Chains A and B, each alone.
Chain A
Amino acid sequence: MDAAAIGRAITRMAHEIAERNPDEIGLAVIGIHTHGVPLAQRLAGTLAGILKRDVPTGELDIAMHRDDIALRLAPVVGPSHIPFDVTGRIIVLVDDVLFTGRSIRAALDEITDFGRPKQIQLAVLVDRGHRELPIRPDFVGKNVPTALTERVAVRLTEVDGKDEVVMER
């Protein structure tokens, strides 16, 4: 995907989110660190234009909630920042690539530590398959069938200086 394709995918997902939650005052978007965060901000920006009101955004660092600390070196942990109460809201959780589903599992656990949302929906830029947990996305930018050995690299201007999604071996 190039920059234009990423832009179109975000616009389309924003419309789908707005369609699914037309009257939802408490809609908020939370991005998973690192690449989910700028994606969440872009989605929220587009959503705000469609809904004609501000959509609050938050960021989540799931390093403390991972299930593999014993398997590898302790990861770099960063703070999560959710500047609103999640209780009673509809939260759209945003990540760049949906793969095994383990990051999403960790993120769901962490969000519920902040409060009790009314609903959590999942938006991902790329769904590459190979789920290891019963988790499915509500909004998908692009479905990409992959082999387990392949790597999907998402680069975004805010983090990497350019917008692109490429397959790497």
Chain B
Amino acid sequence: MKPNWQHKDLLGIQDLTADEIVCLLDAAQAFKQVGERAVKKVPSLRGKTIVNLFIEPSTRTRTSFELAAKRLSADVINITATASSLVKGETLKDTALNLQALHADMIVIRHSAAGAPHFLARFLKASVINAGDGAHEHPTQALLDAFTIREKKGRIAGLNVTILGDILYSRVARSNIWLLTKLGAHVTLAGPSTLVPRVFEQFGCRVTHDMEEAIRDADVINLLRIQHERQRKTMFPSIGEYAAMYGLNRDRFSRTKPDALIMHPGPINRGVEIDSDVADCGRSVILEQVTNGLAVRMAVLFLCSGGKHELTAD
């Protein structure tokens, strides 16, 4: 078997082929099993240094990347915006070059500006992993969502996946749209027209503002949080009205397909985009997404640290 992965960076889903995505998902399958062993750690990245450069706040993604790196035996350093020299006026480029000068092998970056990881990848020899750039991409989230769907449904091609909520400001939505359409799923985007503009039809998705239409045929419903921090106040009248119009409550849930999966990238706002009952029900895979995220990030770190040249087979 030839390895299908030949990149040093993971910057986004948009540039990947379907084969490369499947290669990542298959590797994640192997890494998931490591979590079930007595010793939940493998020596693959022993001696490598990975820097989590989180210029925008994050708990779950940073923790997940940190744990993934540790399970691969790498050394990890966490840098947050407030604790870095960026507050002293250092540029992102200089920060990154300094980290590379300390022999960092990989930089996992989250930044509020779209394209920040791509910018770093242009001049760094170290691998760059995008952990979310503005409203652009969040590739590992899309990969873990796809991994969870494939694990639960056995396939991705042909499924109806509805992404519901704040599409306009969501990097999760964009990465998911690219990934799911590349693997042959039918994607529907739904929510208030201010947050789900028709222009998204260009991505090859269906856009609807009618909740009933959005959930009726869905095999998977992926709920997105309202991004208060990235949003102007005029997008909808109030949180209460959003919950009433577009929240997945018990009543709407009862009209979904009996085997429809309920997903959410977290953090969930109970009572807003999802009711508590629905979040905790048997068809909700929200916590499994978190577990799978660890396996997916291990796979990404592992595959991106491969050397450039293939030597002998054994």
Using a CB–CB distance below 8 Å, which chain A residues touch chain B? Answer: 61, 63-66, 68-81, 99-100, 103, 109-110, 112-115
CB-defined A-B contacts under 8 Å, sample of 15: A61-B30, A64-B30, A64-B302, A69-B45, A69-B307, A74-B3, A76-B3, A77-B299, A78-B30, A113-B37, A113-B38, A113-B39, A113-B41, A114-B39, A115-B38
Residues of A within 8 A of B303 (CB): 74
- What is the 8 Å Cβ interface bit string for chain B, positions 4-27, against chain A (1 contact, 0 not)? 111000000000000000010011
Query: CA A65 – CA B1 in complex, angstroms?
Result: 18
Residues of A within 8 A of B37 (CB): 113-114
Using a CB–CB distance below 8 Å, which chain B residues touch chain A? Answer: 1-6, 23, 26-27, 29-34, 37-39, 41-45, 72, 299, 302-311, 314
User: Main SS of chain B's interface residues?
Assistant: loop
Verify A68–B305 contact, CB threshold 8 A: no
Residues of A within 8 A of B308 (CB): 73
Query: CA A99 – CA B314 in complex, angstroms?
Result: 9
- Residue on A nearest B299 in the bound complex, by CB: A77
Count of CB-CB pairs between chains A and B under 8 Å = 87
Partner among A65, A70, A78 whose Cβ is within 8 Å of the Cβ of B42: A65
Most buried by B among A78, A79, A100: A79
Verify A74–B306 contact, CB threshold 8 A: yes
| Sample of 8 further A-B pairs with CB below 8 A, known A72-B310, A73-B307, A74-B27 | A64-B34, A73-B306, A79-B32, A113-B37, A113-B38, A113-B42, A114-B37, A114-B38
Residues of A within 8 A of B44 (CB): 64-66, 69
Query: CA A110 – CA B38 in complex, angstroms?
Result: 11
Query: CA A100 – CA B44 in complex, angstroms?
Result: 19
Query: CA A64 – CA B38 in complex, angstroms?
Result: 16
In the complex with contacts A73-B6, A103-B314, A63-B41 CB distance below 8 A? no
Query: CA A123 – CA B84 in complex, angstroms?
Result: 54
Verify A73–B310 contact, CB threshold 8 A: yes
Query: CA A99 – CA B313 in complex, angstroms?
Result: 12
Residues of A within 8 A of B309 (CB): 71-73
Query: CA A74 – CA B70 in complex, angstroms?
Result: 18
9 closest A-B pairs by CB: A74-B306, A113-B39, A64-B42, A77-B30, A79-B33, A74-B303, A73-B306, A79-B30, A72-B310
- Residue on B nearest A66 in the bound complex, by CB: B44
Give, as a whole number of angstroms, the nearest-CB distance from A159 to chain B.
11
In the complex with contacts A77-B31, A79-B30, A79-B33, A71-B42 CB distance below 8 A? no
Query: CA A26 – CA B146 in complex, angstroms?
Result: 40
Verify B29–A79 contact, CB threshold 8 A: yes
- Residue on B nearest A77 in the bound complex, by CB: B30
- Residue on B nearest A87 in the bound complex, by CB: B38
Most buried by B among A65, A68, A75: A75
Query: CA A77 – CA B38 in complex, angstroms?
Result: 19
Most buried by B among A61, A70, A99: A70
In the complex with contacts A64-B42, A64-B44, A73-B31 CB distance below 8 A? no
Query: CA A51 – CA B259 in complex, angstroms?
Result: 47
Query: CA A77 – CA B299 in complex, angstroms?
Result: 9
Query: CA A140 – CA B314 in complex, angstroms?
Result: 20
- Residue on B nearest A97 in the bound complex, by CB: B314
In the complex with contacts A69-B306, A113-B37, A100-B314 CB distance below 8 A? yes
